[in-house]
Amino acid sequence: MHWFLLNAIFLPLALKFHTMSLLTVGTVAFDTIETPTGIADMVVGGSATYSSWAASYLVDPIRIVSIIGEDFPANELELLRNRGVDDKGIKVVQGGKSFYWSGRYHDNMISRDTLVTDLNVLADFDPVLDAEASQSDYVFLGNLTPDIQRSVIEQMTIKPKVIAMDTMNFWLDIALDSLMETIKLVDILIINDEEARQMSGEHSLVKASKFILARGPRYLVIKKGEHGALLFGDDQVFFAPGLPLLEVVDPTGAGDTFAGGFMGHIARTGDLSFENMRRAIIYGSVMASFCVQAFGVERLKNLNQNDIEERYEQFKHLVHFD
């Protein structure tokens, strides 16, 4: 039989059975957000919530591992289940309260003051992966203590195709050794520019990338908020802009949404080439550009494939020259 016919039969089968489960470990929480234009009181948030909403438009199934109190609204979990998100790994603590964060943004919509951080049930978060979760092909570790992130990696019973992680300056300050141990074990580190500078001691992001890539990850994504994102790896660099928007309503969760879109595209394609990472960065940027257009996850709840592909084309047009 000709190779082309063989391909015609077996390639679709291979694609169908290309497992592309995405495990996301992070917070599912409440946020109260003040911006110069409004307040959103006790809306759902958290890194696992934002990243799952974003990834749900690109890949299926998604498994969340997280912890909530009994105050968390059942219908919000149902909305996620309706989008192919498996919430069996979200532990509900009876009598407990969900993680709560409150913050106020400055006029520039970038800097912000934290008003309240109530860890609540998050203080005792010790994620235990069931058999299914421990065999996930793609793993995104939202910002948590580096010890917890490492314990998740150690529970994986089959080596994942990609492990990506986020972190924050707080862990650089108080748990640097553990953080650097964890970074050794991941394929992709996703951090912001200030964190990259703090971690490396270098102001130049090119120098920072060399420092970090020498310490474990194959790829480094540096988020620059409204200024876009950089991807370093395989001796190449890619830059994706932020989409200039008429109005930014609420930047909360944009970074986690970016990570969700990014990982969603990687998981659905299974392609780890630098060329495909470029596309993944754009899908992340697309999802983040929707996220900031409303408070919380609201804008992420009612998208369709057309919205996403149209915005992908907008990014193309934004940077195109010949």
- Footprint on residues 85-124 left by its own copies (CB under 8 A): 107-109
Spell out the residues 6+ positions from residue 197 whose beta carbon is closer than 8 angstroms to its own.
Answer: 203, 205, 208
Residues 6+ apart with CB under 8 A from 55: 22, 24, 62, 140, 260, 261, 263, 264, 267
User: How far apart are CB 110 and its own copies at their closest, in Å?
Assistant: 10
Nearer to its own copies, 89 or 284 (CB): 284
Name residues whose C-beta falls within 8 Å of residue 196's C-beta, 6 or more positions apart in sequence. 205, 208, 209, 212, 220, 222
Q: Is 227 in the site for its own copies (CB under 8 A)?
A: yes
Could you say which of 88, 184, 203, 215 contacts its own copies (CB under 8 A)? 203
Radius of gyration in angstroms for the set of CA atoms belonging to the chain, rounded to a whole number = 19
Q: Based on CB atoms, which residue is closest to its own copies, 64 or 109?
A: 109
Residue 214 within binding range of its own copies, rule CB under 8 A: no
Return the exposure string of 148-167: e unless at least 16 CB atoms fall within 10 Å of the residue's CB, then b: bbbbbbeebeeebbbbbbbb
Q: Based on CB atoms, which residue is closest to its own copies, 147 or 226?
A: 226
Between 112 and 224, CB nearer to its own copies = 224
Nearest alpha carbon to residue 258 among 224, 237, 278, 281: 281
Piece of 6-14, 84-92, 166-174, 198-206 that binds its own copies (CB under 8 A): 198-206
Dist CA 101 CA 106 (whole Å) = 17
Task: Judge if the upstream peptide bond of residue 12 is cis by omega within 30 degrees of 0.
Answer: no
Which residue's CB is nearer to its own copies, number 37 or number 117? 37
CA within 13 Å, CB half, 322: 0
Binding window for its own copies (CB under 8 A); candidates: 43-51, 156-164, 243-251, 290-298? 243-251
Among 65, 139, 220, 230, indicate the residue that binds its own copies (CB under 8 A). Answer: 230
Instruction: List Cα–Cα distances, 54 to 85, 123, 223, 303, in angstroms.
Output: 11, 26, 17, 10
Strand partners, 44: 30
| 238 binding its own copies? (CB under 8 A) | yes
Question: Which of 247, 302, 304, 306 forms a contact with its own copies (CB under 8 A)?
Answer: 247
Q: Is 65 in the site for its own copies (CB under 8 A)?
A: no
Q: Give the binding range for its own copies (CB under 8 A) out of 50-58, 117-125, 159-167, 238-246.
A: 238-246
- Compare residues 180 and 239 and give the one whose CB is closer to its own copies: 239
Q: Does 245 bind its own copies (CB under 8 A)?
A: yes
How buried is residue 180: exposed, middle or buried, by Cβ count under 10 Å (0-12/13-18/19+)?
Answer: middle
Q: Do residues 215 and 180 make contact, with C-beta atoms less than 8 angstroms apart?
A: yes
Distance CA 78, CA 42 (A): 18
User: By C-beta, is 53 or 238 nearer to its own copies?
Assistant: 238
Site string for its own copies, 258-277 (x = CB under 8 A): -----------------x--
Closest CB to its own copies among 41 and 113? 113
Which of 44, 122, 205, 291 lies at the binding interface for its own copies (CB under 8 A)? 205
CB 131 within 8 A of CB 108: no
Least Å distance between CB 289 and its own copies?
12
Residue ranges binding its own copies (CB under 8 A): 107-109, 203-207, 224, 227-228, 230, 236-241, 244-248, 275, 278-279, 281-282, 316-322
